[in-house]
Amino acid sequence: MQKSTPVFPSVPVTFTGQSLISHAGVKVLTGFMDALGFGALCEDRLGQLVPSGARHRSGRLLGSLAAMLAAGGEHASDLDILRSSPGVFGPLPSNATVSRFFERTVVNPELFSYGFETLTRELRTRAWNASGDRNPALSATAADPLIIDIDATLVASHSEKENVAGTYKGGYGFAPFIASCDYGTGQGSGEILACVLRPGNAGANSAEDHIRVFHTALAQLPESFYDDTGALTGEKVLVRTDSAGASRKFLWHLHSLGVQFSTSYALPFGKAHMIDWINDKTNWQPALDQNGAERTDAWVINATDVIALQDYPPGTKLFLRAEPLHPGAQPTLVDVDGHRITALLTNSPRWHGPFLDVRHRARGRCENRIKTLKNTGLGEHRRAGLQSGLLAPARCPSERSPRQGLGHQTLALPDLRDRRQDHHPRPPKPAAATGISAGKGPSETAAGEPRTT
């Protein structure tokens, strides 16, 4: 761990069974940031965005906002949640100070983007290195690579914003592309690597967008995934997508980098007659569940030699999965003898069909990571600009779990588990303080308010 000046006060947390401090569980997060050297690293990468004589440096600004989101906040003004405990979280920046920091990031987008990308990559490297033998970078091999999930989602917009457009579901908003890494079963939920904001009418099967978000995610991987010449060690990475990522252009691009892939494949209707031997299970293998146990009602087979693939990268294999229709499922034209047939393409060096199938079906875990990302800011853009909307710390109340605001409290104070959360009341705004919102510049602050930067 790094030794540097901490951003937050060092306060021990003791389990006494008494309800003494609200949001005490957030100290787990603030202590983790200080252990990683968050403050010094922020000053090195983003210090240019803060005036040299400012009291609140970039580490305290970003660290306070992260703690506020973890405590259940929705906007920069919700820093009041933490201001009620100055002895625990220290002095916090004012709303006007946060607003001016955002304005500087919008004026200098390239400086902020480069600084933030290198900041998160270094923090991830330090955190992974501190995890010992559970370091995802050390355990990644050709047989068991690091999995990067790529998926698109929809974010609704209730007002006119830059690049907003209609969605295929009849809504209005954005269609961001998200790349996240999966640690594997029993190793945690994974983490977000990259998010590319796109208009709501952007297609989910765009090869160019898949390539773009993939390379953005690669830039977040630690140096151990690259050799001495800076080239990616592709065999240690596997990209997992739904059928939107099965485009030949994207798969050939991954092949050129030596990266493994596992993608769903829409079986053409014209080839359905080639699997009419579905009832003959002689050559099929029982599918596995997520715990590795064999299932009695699902089967997997390597159909590469039966259904020819054209113009796909060499080494691409096609696996089919068959299982009876679930009760209430709507039959389709490609269902055979009451079985639902799904397919996947992969160039993995492993050949055991049931293992490849269960690994690919675990792709559903990325939906939980996307939901968490929406809960902590992606689900709401408060400002008109595309870039500034990404910077505004926001949270979508409609996506919040009923107990999510209490989650960090119950970590340290179990007696609060069944109590109703009481939010710290916000102080009333004076009549002249209309300019302290997160969209005003420093010249528009209220009369008489000190300009603390």
Q: What is the pLDDT of residues 207-241, one digit of tens each?
A: 999 999 999 999 999 988 998 888 999 999 999 99
Share of the chain above pLDDT 70, in %: 77
20, burial (CB in 10 Å: exposed 0-12, middle 13-18, buried 19+): exposed
CATH fold of 131-368 reads Transposase Inhibitor Protein From Tn5; Chain A, domain 1 (3.90.350)
Whose tokens are 């087979």? That residue is 301
CA 287: distance to chain centroid? Answer: 29
Q: How far is CA 353 from CA 183, 243, 295, 308, 344, in A?
A: 21, 18, 13, 18, 10
Average pLDDT of adjacent 10-residue blocks, the chain of 453 residues: 66 68 78 90 92 90 89 84 84 91 90 91 91 87 93 87 85 91 80 91 91 94 89 93 94 96 83 58 83 87 86 93 81 71 92 92 90 80 42 34 32 33 43 39 41 46
d(CA 366, CA 362): 8
Query: What are the extents of the domains in the chain?
Result: 1-130+400-453, 131-368
pLDDT, residue 437, reads 37
pTM for the predicted model, two decimal places: 0.78
pLDDT for 214 equals 95
Residue the block writes with tokens 């900041």:
119
Tell me the residue ranges of DSSP E strands in 144-215: 146-152, 155-156, 165-166, 172-174, 177-182, 191-196
Cα separation, 266 vs 192, in Å, equals 27
> Is residue 436 within 8 Å of residue 452, measured between CB atoms?
no
Residue type, 357: D
Q: Which contacts (CB < 8 Å, 24+ apart) does range 93-97 have?
A: 93/56, 93/60, 93/61, 93/64, 93/452, 94/436, 94/452, 95/436, 95/437, 95/438, 96/436, 96/440, 96/442, 96/445, 96/449, 96/451, 96/452, 97/54, 97/56, 97/61, 97/452, 97/453
Strands 165-166 and 237-241: unpaired
Q: Cβ neighbours of residue 282 under 8 Å, at least 6 residues apart?
A: none
